Structure 1
Amino acid sequence: MKLGLIGCGKMGRALLEGALKAGIVKAEDVYVSSRTAETRQALSDELGVNAVESNVEVVQNSNAVYLCTKPHIIPLVLVELNEEPECLNDVLLISAAAGLTLETLESPLPHGTRMVRCMPNTPSLIGKGAAAYTLGTHANDADAETTCKLLGAAGSVIEVPEKLMDAVTGVSGSGPAYVYTFIEALADGGVFEGLPRQQALELATQTVLGAASMVAETGLHPAILRDMVCSPGGTTITAVKALEDNGFRSAAINAVSASANKARELGRK
């Protein structure tokens, strides 16, 4: 496979490194472009991929291309590609732009262009990402397989209907930031109670990692696992009550909804 990357930011880099580490592509078969020469050249120097100035050149040399620029830049990239429509004949485009619908992505391009909309997240940088995708009008089963292979190289991947993609943005796309905030707050609680900062952070981090692994590996509902920790009248149920008293659950739900609504807003611009 020959892979292209338009936009060499953190997310694009994470997805690219996942594919390289998994052996799905070789560095010499990867073409990257970005708005700044320094960014693409730095990626080329570090990973051995081909850095080129033109987005069209990326597409011309690829079987699949990640579109990983900021959402407001994507329409400009699509217009540029449409000026060389023949370059799109045999390539799969995979957009990671939050909020941009398949209709928005496909409308500037020639009829028949194969497009996938996806939403990965930053833990893809360490191969622990969570991604979802939805197929465009002209994408086929082979394109779905390619998308799963590429996104799966950086973590887990699921297919969802497009109407749920903004919800995915709210849960897993933005979700790492909520978890980082929780880890920091959990550690702050430990410091408040007298633990040294580094020890509190180590305990908080491992606790979140371990709890998440319990959900993933046992397949049990989080409520069941929580009840296993909450002894009647004990310390944990007292702490859970304090979380509920302070709106912990509703704050998390509202965060997901706010992120999803922002994604919809980006899609309307």
Structure 2
Amino acid sequence: MLINKKRIAFLGCGNMVQALFPNWHKLDPTAQFFTYTPSETKALEFAHIIGGKAVKSLFDLPPCDIYVFGFKPQTLHKVFADFKPTNKEAIGVSLLAAVTFSELEEASGLKSLYRLMPNTPSLVGEGMMGVCSKNIPDHANAYFEHIFNGLSKTIELETEEELDTITPYSGSGPAYFFEIARIMAHDCIERGIEPQIARKLVAQTLLGAGKMLVEASEPPAKLRDNVTSKGGVTAAVLNSLKDQGLEKIFVEAISAGHNRLSELKKNSKV
């Protein structure tokens, strides 16, 4: 059962944990935080960020109210091979892609669980996170709603299948835009523009376009058409992309992501 002064344990403190959770202590100033990683390096680093304590062993953890699973999905059974949370009423919060509630419960022994699919823009206050839950007690809902909405923009999903479906779009999506930015900035630099200027041009263009997508009522195709004059520069670029099969390339690439997700699901059961 959650008590007023919560104890929260982070099992794994990698990039996604550090992107999503660095402000949890500000949203709940009374909480006590504990961090663990096998090498201890990132545990110490993240403990410093959130004002917590790094432990050298899982068995050094006190009974906690919340356990955040931030390790690699394929290490689930290794992490819980000997260690099990002693507080069976604790709530598990999982960042593990493709690992189901049933697998999480079987491995950890916890029955109250969240699965999250966040993304790294949470680090700058612009994250998008899918949230799916199982057996969360009523008294805990308000707390987690406060925490999750304070860390990222959120969408609550009814099923695990929906959470898995959004993974290659919002979860992995920032990487695609970073790759587009890299290509555009590199080409701009190759044509004589200073690197700092090229990066700023491309970054602000992506930021502005993203803001228009969020705030405008028009669909993306209409926003695209609003930029495109017949016979102009934009039309020439878009026609070239169409001729080279950009949409097909993207759809097949995202399908590869879904296929990989299916493989991870199979591997997590081994």
By the TM > 0.5 criterion, same fold? yes
Which residue number in structure 1 is paired with residue 77 of structure 2? 75
Deviation at 1:151, TM superposition (A): 2.8
Deviation at 1:56, TM superposition (A): 5.4
In structure 1, give the amino acid aligned to 2:63.
Answer: Q
Q: State the distance in 1 between where 2:255 and 2:148 align.
A: 25
Which residue number in structure 2 is paired with residue 51 of structure 1? 54
- Asked if the contact 1:166/1:261 (under 8 Å) is kept, the reply is no
Q: State the distance in 2 between where 1:104 and 1:203 align.
A: 46
1:161-218 Cα shifts (integer Å, max 9, x gaps): 2112222210111111111000011112323443233222211111001000111122
Q: Does 1:10 align with 2:15?
A: yes
Compute the RMSD of aligned alpha carbons. 2.3
In structure 2, give the amino acid aligned to 1:33.
Answer: Y
In structure 2, give the amino acid aligned to 1:108.
Answer: A
Q: Which deviates further from its counterpart, 189-198 or 67-76?
A: 189-198
Q: State the distance in 2 between where 1:59 and 1:118 align.
A: 24
Which residue number in structure 2 is paired with residue 268 of structure 1? 266
Q: Which deviates further from its counterpart, 8-17 or 93-102?
A: 8-17
Q: Which deviates further from its counterpart, 223-232 or 100-109?
A: 100-109
SS at match of 1:17: coil
Q: Does 1:119 align with 2:117?
A: yes
SS at match of 2:114: strand
In structure 1, give the amino acid aligned to 2:104.
Answer: L
In structure 1, give the amino acid aligned to 2:154.
Answer: V
Deviation at 1:48, TM superposition (A): 2.2
- Asked if the contact 1:8/1:43 (under 8 Å) is kept, the reply is yes
- Asked if the contact 1:92/1:143 (under 8 Å) is kept, the reply is no
Q: State the distance in 2 between where 1:152 and 1:56 align.
A: 31
Between the two structures, name the one with larger relative contact order (CA 8 Å, sep ≥ 6): 1
In structure 1, give the amino acid aligned to 2:148.
Answer: L
Deviation at 1:143, TM superposition (A): 4.5
Which residue number in structure 2 is paired with residue 178 of structure 1? 176
What stretches of structure 2 of length at least 5 have no aligned partner?
1-5
Deviation at 1:141, TM superposition (A): 4.7
TM-score (norm 2): 0.87
Equivalent residue in structure 2 for 1:234, among 229, 232, 255: 232
Q: State the distance in 2 between where 1:3 and 1:178 align.
A: 33
Q: State the distance in 2 between where 1:129 and 1:74 align.
A: 25
Identity across aligned pairs (percent)?
Answer: 28
Q: Does 1:66 align with 2:75?
A: no
Give the direction of change, closer, same or farther, for the CA distance of 1:116–1:128 in structure 2 (3 Å limit): same
Q: State the distance in 2 between where 1:27 and 1:53 align.
A: 23
Aligned residues: 261
Which residue number in structure 2 is paired with residue 102 of structure 1? 101
Which residue number in structure 1 is paired with residue 3 of structure 2? none
Give the direction of change, closer, same or farther, for the CA distance of 1:142–1:234 in structure 2 (3 Å limit): farther
Which residue number in structure 1 is paired with residue 201 of structure 2? 203
Deviation at 1:140, TM superposition (A): 4.0
In structure 2, give the amino acid aligned to 1:202.
Answer: K
Give the direction of change, closer, same or farther, for the CA distance of 1:208–1:241 in structure 2 (3 Å limit): same
Q: State the distance in 2 between where 1:250 and 1:229 align.
A: 22
Which residue number in structure 2 is paired with residue 87 of structure 1? 87
Give the direction of change, closer, same or farther, for the CA distance of 1:28–1:144 in structure 2 (3 Å limit): closer
Give the direction of change, closer, same or farther, for the CA distance of 1:4–1:258 in structure 2 (3 Å limit): same
Q: Does 1:139 align with 2:141?
A: no
Q: State the distance in 1 between where 2:57 and 2:202 align.
A: 45
